[in-house]
Each structure stands twice: as structure tokens, then as C-alpha cells.
């Protein structure tokens, strides 16, 4: 509607500015760029000098790199030498024999499968509890949201110190004070990944609490009142009103949590730096492998193949979840 130009407003615009109305020939040019001072002309100008640069940057930064990445994954591109050769499926074939990649892939899947249900279910539970017109809601929001809003590196370092080996770390101290044996939180390969997942859930839970809480608040109160008048218990209200209406948001939250967990990097990186180097390779994940191969060893082609796997696996997860949660 806006771009439909009424001749009247053309005239008035140009005469407002005191610019002489040129007798533009009725041709391609005038239809394309409009008369000087006309709305269409202004819009074309705006598209050209403001919108086109933004969209060009968008394409260059957000779209082209993905195609480029897929292309790179079929080459032997390296940071150590210039020029790259097409090597076909060689990088992908190598992935199948790379035990470190297979471990990273397995760890990433484990990370997603454990952490996503945890953040969604706990987040939903706490949001449902908080949505009862509490007096100190703002205070609780701060408590739950602080770990999320603080950047990952400092909180990961705090947790690393809590997980510190021997009696120094708080986690072991707490275990011992209730009579349980000490645990090698960051050195025992069986436990380390779970230690990282605990930290990850703690860090990100607040986000899901807030997303679900905002969703719950947007459900009209009359719906709940009506159900209660009809004799529904608060459990039934949750089950038959809150949860079904929250369904789209739960779908969004699950997809978002999956993508975030697929690409987890910072926590794993911080946790694997320093004392327990052997555990570092044990808890490696896909994003960590991309960093290692690409930026530590400089194998851009091979790292691109790992990134392509991450990309495709993320897309697959989205499709599966969309199908599963969006059936009706």
C-alpha cells in the first residue's frame, strides 16, 4: 500500500520542495526511479543507499559463509599454505576413521540428549511455580537469571574451582561431608562430561525459566478463572490450559536449546584448559574439534567437514523435533 504512488502526493511533494516538476518522459527510466522528489524516487534512493548495503552485508556475513563452508569441506585448504585443491569426499572419509572426531560427535550427542530435556523440564517447572502471583517474583527472577546473563568464561572458571581436585574443591568437600567418596570431577572420563552438563544446565536454566514465564503470563487469566469456576484443580489448570497453550513456546525452546547445545564450545574449552589435560580430549565436542583442527592445526578443509557435520546434524535435529512436537 505504501509504495503505491498517488500522483497527487507526487505533485505536492515536489512542489513543497519548490523543485520544478520536470516533464519526465513516460519511459522505463521514470517508471523505475520515479520523478525527482516523488515518493517512489525517495524509496528507490533509500533502498539503494541504505537497504542494499545492509542486505549485502547480511548475505556476505550470514549466508555466503555457509555455502563457502560446504565448498571448503571438499578441499584441502590450509592456513599454512595458500591455494587449495579439490579432494572430493576425502575429508569426510577421514572423519570416519578419526577416533577423536567420533568421540566428539558422541559427546555432543550425549550433551544434547541429556541437557536439552533437563533445561526444558526444569525451566518449565520453575516457571509454573513462579507464575502464581508471588510477592518476590522480581527477586527470584534475578536469582535464576544471573547465571545466564553473566558471560560463560567467568562462571565456567568458578565451576572449575568448585570441581577442583582433592579436598580443595567445594564439590568434593560437600560429598565428603555427607560421607560420600571424593570424585575426580574433571579427571575421571566417565564423570567429566556430566560435570560439564551440570554446569551447563545451571548456567542456562534461567533463560528457559524467563521464556516460559513470559509465555505463561501472556495466557489470559480469564481462561484459568473459567476453568476454576468449573471446578478444575490447579494441577488440571496446568495440564489442560497452561501446557497446551505453551506448546509453541516449548517447541521453540527445545529447538533453541538443541542448537545451542550442539554448538557448545566455551564451557568445554574453559573446563578442558589447565590441570587435567587428558580429560580435555575426553570431553571434546564438535565445536571444540572445529577450533582444534582449524585454528590450532590450520587444517581448514578438514575442520570445514566437521563444521558441515555440525550444521547438517543441527538441521536434522530441528526437522525431527518439528515433526515430533508439531504433530497436531
Partner 1 sequence: MSTNPIRINLRPMHRFKWERLLLNMVLLAAGLIMIFPLLWAVMTSFKPSIEIVSHTPSILPQTWTLENYVKIPNIAPFARFFFNSLIISGVSTIFVVAGSVTAGYVFAKYHFRGRDVLLLLVIATIIIPMESYVIPLFLTINTFGWVNSYAGIIYPTIIMSTGIFFLRQSIVSVPDELIAAARIDGCSEFGVLRHVIFPTSSSAIAAIAIVNWVFTWGLFLWPLIVASSANMFTMEIGLMYFQREYIVDYGGTMAATVVTMIPIVIFFLIFRRRIIEGIATTGMKGV
C-beta of residue 289 within 8 angstroms of C-beta of residue 266: no
The 10 Å CB-count burial string (b at 16+, else e) for 188-213 is: eeeebbebbbbbbbebbbbbbbbbbb
C-beta of residue 207 within 8 angstroms of C-beta of residue 260: no
16 forms part of the interface with partner 1 (CB under 8 A): yes
| Least distance in angstroms from the C-beta of 58 to partner 1 | 5
Interface pattern 302-321 for partner 1 (x via CB under 8 A): -xx--xx-xx--x---x---
Nearer to partner 1 by Cβ, of 134 and 226: the residue is 134
Instruction: Retrieve residue 202's grid coordinates.
Output: 545451571
| Least distance in angstroms from the C-beta of 50 to partner 1 | 5
Interacting residues with partner 1 between 54 and 73 (CB under 8 A): 54-55, 57-58, 60-66, 68-69, 72
| Least distance in angstroms from the C-beta of 2 to partner 1 | 5
Rounded-to-integer distance, Cα 227 and Cα 222, Å: 8
Count of CA atoms in the C-beta half-sphere (13 A) of 81: 7
| Least distance in angstroms from the C-beta of 218 to partner 1 | 10
Instruction: Retrieve residue 252's grid coordinates.
Output: 521453540
155 forms part of the interface with partner 1 (CB under 8 A): yes
- The 3-state secondary structure of 58-90 reads HHHHHHHHHHHHHHHCCECCCCCCCCCCECCCH
Nearer to partner 1 by Cβ, of 282 and 301: the residue is 301
Taking CB under 8 A as the criterion, the residue among 259, 281, 321, 325 binding partner 1 is 259
| Least distance in angstroms from the C-beta of 287 to partner 1 | 4
Interacting residues with partner 1 between 159 and 198 (CB under 8 A): 159, 161-162, 164, 167-168, 170, 173
| Least distance in angstroms from the C-beta of 136 to partner 1 | 7
Please list, in sequence order, all residues whose beta carbon lies within 8 angstroms of the beta carbon of residue 314, skipping any fewer than 6 positions away: 258, 259, 262, 263
Instruction: Retrieve residue 77's grid coordinates.
Output: 585448504
Interface pattern 201-240 for partner 1 (x via CB under 8 A): -x--xxx--xx-xx--------------------------
Nearer to partner 1 by Cβ, of 99 and 167: the residue is 167
Taking CB under 8 A as the criterion, the residue among 3, 190, 230, 323 binding partner 1 is 3
47 forms part of the interface with partner 1 (CB under 8 A): yes
Interacting residues with partner 1 between 89 and 148 (CB under 8 A): 126, 129-130, 132, 134, 136, 138-147
Phi, psi of 86 (to 5 degrees): -75, 125
Nearer to partner 1 by Cβ, of 217 and 239: the residue is 217
Q: State the number of binding residues for partner 1 (CB under 8 A).
A: 100
Please list, in sequence order, all residues whose beta carbon lies within 8 angstroms of the beta carbon of residue 293, skipping any fewer than 6 positions away: 299, 302, 303, 306
Please list, in sequence order, all residues whose beta carbon lies within 8 angstroms of the beta carbon of residue 304, skipping any fewer than 6 positions away: 69, 70, 72, 73, 75, 77, 91, 294
Stretch that binds partner 1, among 25-33, 36-44, 100-108, 186-194 (CB under 8 A): 36-44
Interacting residues with partner 1 between 264 and 283 (CB under 8 A): 265-266, 269-270, 273-275
C-beta of residue 87 within 8 angstroms of C-beta of residue 74: yes
Phi, psi of 148 (to 5 degrees): -75, -40
Amino acid at each position: 500500500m505504501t509504495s503505491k504512488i498517488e500522483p497527487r502526493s507526487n505533485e505536492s511533494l515536489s512542489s513543497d520542495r519548490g523543485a520544478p516538476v520536470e516533464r519526465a518522459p513516460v519511459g522505463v527510466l521514470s517508471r523505475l526511479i520515479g520523478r525527482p522528489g516523488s515518493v517512489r524516487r525517495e524509496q528507490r534512493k533509500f533502498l539503494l543507499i541504505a537497504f542494499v548495503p545492509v542486505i549485502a552485508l547480511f548475505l556476505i556475513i550470514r549466508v555466503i559463509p555457509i555455502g563457502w563452508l560446504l565448498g571448503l569441506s571438499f578441499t584441502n585448504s590450509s592456513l599454512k599454505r595458500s591455494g587449495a585443491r579439490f579432494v572430493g569426499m576425502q575429508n569426510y572419509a577421514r572423519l570416519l576413521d578419526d577416533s577423536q572426531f567420533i568421540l566428539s560427535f558422541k559427546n555432543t550427542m550425549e550433551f544434547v540428549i541429556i541437557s536439552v530435556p533437563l533445561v526444558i523440564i526444569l525451566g518449565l517447572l520453575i516457571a509454573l511455580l513462579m507464575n502464581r502471583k508471588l510477592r518476590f517474583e522480581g527477586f527470584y527472577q534475578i536469582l535464576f537469571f544471573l547465571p545466564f546473563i553473566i558471560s560463560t568464561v567467568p562462571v565456567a572458571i568458578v565451576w572449575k574451582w568448585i570441581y577442583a581436585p582433592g579436598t580443595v574443591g567445594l564439590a568434593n568437600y560437600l560429598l565428603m561431608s555427607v560421607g560420600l567418596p571424593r570424585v575426580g570431577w574433571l579427571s575421571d572420563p566417565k564423570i567429566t562430561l556430566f560435570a560439564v552438563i551440570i554446569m551447563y544446565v545451571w548456567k542456562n536454566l534461567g533463560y528457559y525459566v524467563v521464556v516460559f514465564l513470559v509465555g505463561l503470563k501472556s495466557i489470559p487469566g480469564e481462561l484459568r478463572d473459567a476453568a476454576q469456576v468449573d471446578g478444575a484443580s490447579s494441577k488440571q489448570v496446568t495440564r489442560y490450559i497452561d501446557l497446551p497453550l505453551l506448546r509453541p513456546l516449548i517447541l521453540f525452546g527445545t529447538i533453541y536449546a538443541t542448537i545451542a547445545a550442539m554448538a557448545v564450545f566455551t564451557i568445554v574449552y574453559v573446563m578442558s584448559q589447565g590441570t587435567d589435560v587428558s580429560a580435555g580430549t575426553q570431553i571434546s565436542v564438535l565445536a571444540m574439534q572445529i577450533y582444534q583442527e582449524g585454528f590450532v592445526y590450520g587444517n581448514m578443509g578438514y575442520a570445514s567437514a566437521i563444521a558441515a557435520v555440525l550444521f547438517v546434524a543441527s538441521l536434522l535435529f530441528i526437522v525431527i523435533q518439528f515433526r515430533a512436537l508439531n504433530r497436531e
